[in-house]
Amino acid sequence: MAEIELGNLILHFSQSNKAESKSGKTISWYEEMLNSFISFLASLGMNVLLSEFNINSAREFVINEQERGLSPYTVRGKVRALKAFASWLHREGYTSDNVLFNLKLPKAPINLIEPLTESEVNQLINYQNPLTALGCRNTALLVLLLDTGLRLNELCGLKYEDTHIEEGYLKVLGKGAKQRLVPIGGLTQKVLWRYTLHFRPEPLVNTNSVLFLTLAGETLSANAVKLLLKRWGKNAGVPRLHAHLCRHTFATNFINHDCGDVFRLQQILGHTTLEMVRKYVHYASDQAMINGKYSSPVDLMGLRKLNGYKIDRILKKKSSKVSF
């Protein structure tokens, strides 16, 4: 087993992932991360064999990637891929144990991501003309993202027949080919009705049943939506606009406005665990602390002497004594 080439094992790993119905994007991501490890071993003149796949070489790889200046998130992703590969090797019997079980994920900073403000959303909406086919479609697209938190691929893959506007829900195909029901609000229903009844073109191909189409009736690709949001945000004065920020804005507002508990949010977002939902709770708490009225423990202690300070009078008296 030790003499098997890692490249062949990665191909086997990819085939296994395909058999488990993992998305093409996920499979390609694993291949890219693992092939960078193979390139690292080759650059050191090492044999790219299973025998060289161990915790020591993995740690050297991590240090090398960090010293190359890669972002902590990229390095963390590569370690995740290595650990998933090691677990698979053990399950498939290529190794007697999980050789990377003790490899820890490197720490990555947790940045406070500010959701879109009401003012920014209004800027974006006001930039579009809802009386045109393009403006109506774009408005419906943005409102749907903000009201559901759909991932970009989920939005572009949303079928017309799975958009139950009157009943107030969508049937969404998420990661791992898992379907889930996502509710939509009254305003989203209105803009979707307007788009589907008046401005959605006939599909160029009869088999094309996605909800959002180009003006020519073709599928609106994920890359096209990326470029659309980037250009729209720049022109409307909100250059930070992108699809995942809309997802983050939805989750934060869902929590801040008490639209439901974390388990309901997890179901709507399509997360398999609560780990990511907890991050949204943290972000929402930070946002509430910034925007809400802060109750200071000292303010509530009733320190009367301090409350009696005539600070304006004291400062005025002090400033009058200053000589120039």
β-sheet bridge partners, residue 181? 171
How sure is the predictor about 324, in pLDDT bands with cuts at 50, 70 and 90?
very low
β-sheet bridge partners, residue 5? 49
Q: Is the pLDDT of residue 272 over 90?
A: no
- Tell me if domain 6-91 and domain 118-291 are identical in fold: no
* Residue ranges covered by each domain of the chain: 6-91, 118-291
Q: Tell me: the pLDDT tens digits for 203-248?
A: 887 766 899 999 999 999 999 999 999 999 999 999 999 999 999 9
Q: What is the SS3 assignment for 170?
A: strand
Highest mean pLDDT among 46-55, 104-113, 191-200, 268-277: 191-200
Mean of the per-residue pLDDT values of the chain: 87
Q: Is the pLDDT of residue 159 over 80?
A: yes
- Closest C-alpha among 248, 72, 110, 126 to residue 240: 248
Instruction: List the alpha helices (DSSP H) in the chain.
Output: 6-19, 24-43, 55-67, 72-91, 118-127, 133-148, 152-157, 186-194, 222-236, 243-256, 262-269, 275-291, 304-307, 311-320
Q: Is the pLDDT of residue 294 over 60?
A: no
Q: Residues with Cβ < 8 Å from 6, sequence gap 6 or more?
A: 34, 37, 38, 41, 48, 49, 50, 52, 53
Decide: 220 and 214 in contact? Cβ < 8 Å: yes
Q: Is the pLDDT of residue 4 over 50?
A: yes
Q: What is the SS3 assignment for 221?
A: coil
Quick one: CA dihedral 72, 78, 84, 86, positive or negative? negative
Burial class (CB in 10 A: 0-12, 13-18, 19+), 21: exposed
**pTM (2 decimals)?**
0.72
Decide: 78 and 37 in contact? Cβ < 8 Å: yes
* 6-91 topology per CATH: DNA polymerase; domain 1 (1.10.150)
Decide: 253 and 291 in contact? Cβ < 8 Å: no
Report the alpha-carbon distance of residue 197 to residue 192 in Å, rounded: 8
The catalytic site residues sit at: 151, 175, 244, 247, 271, 280
Lookup result for tokens 């708490």: 285
Quick one: CA dihedral 125, 127, 132, 135, positive or negative? negative
**What architecture (CATH level 2) is domain 118-291?**
Orthogonal Bundle (1.10)
Q: Is the pLDDT of residue 174 over 90?
A: no
Report the alpha-carbon distance of residue 101 to residue 91 in Å, rounded: 13
